[in-house]
């Protein structure tokens, strides 16, 4: 799911990790980026919306990882 969000939105990994349901209105996605505070708004294809619906996600964000510390180290997230 993370790869698809990066591909279809053009966001950095750090921003994709923050994506949640609050960033969607129908199939329109909008988020303010962390690095340069640019607002990115994209209309996502129906296939991505369906993937979000069927993929197990977290309560707060779509991207979940049981090895949070490893993910932080690999992607340099804080």
pTM: 0.72
Report the pLDDT value the prediction gives residue 48, as an integer from 0 to 100. 92
Report the pLDDT value the prediction gives residue 49, as an integer from 0 to 100. 92
Q: In the chain, what are the domain boundaries? A: 2-73
Residue 10, Cβ density class (10 Å: 0-12 exposed, 13-18 middle, ≥19 buried): exposed
Report the pLDDT value the prediction gives residue 1, as an integer from 0 to 100. 80
- Which mean pLDDT values do the consecutive 10-residue runs of the chain (78 residues) have? 91 92 94 96 95 81 67 61
Report the pLDDT value the prediction gives residue 56, as an integer from 0 to 100. 78
Q: What is the DSSP string of the chain?
A: -HHHHHHHH---HHHHTT--GGGEETTEEEEE-TTT--EEEEEPPHHHHHHHHHS---SS-S---S-HHHHHHHHT--
């Amino acid at each position: 799911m993370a790869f698809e969000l990066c591909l279809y939105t053009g966001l950095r990994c750090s921003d994709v990790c923050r994506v949640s349901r609050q960033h969607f209105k129908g199939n329109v996605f909008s988020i303010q980026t962390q690095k340069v505070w640019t607002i990115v708004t994209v209309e996502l294809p129906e296939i991505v919306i369906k993937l979000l619906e069927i993929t197990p996600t977290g309560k707060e964000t779509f991207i979940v990882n049981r090895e949070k510390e490893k993910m932080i180290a690999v992607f340099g997230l804080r």
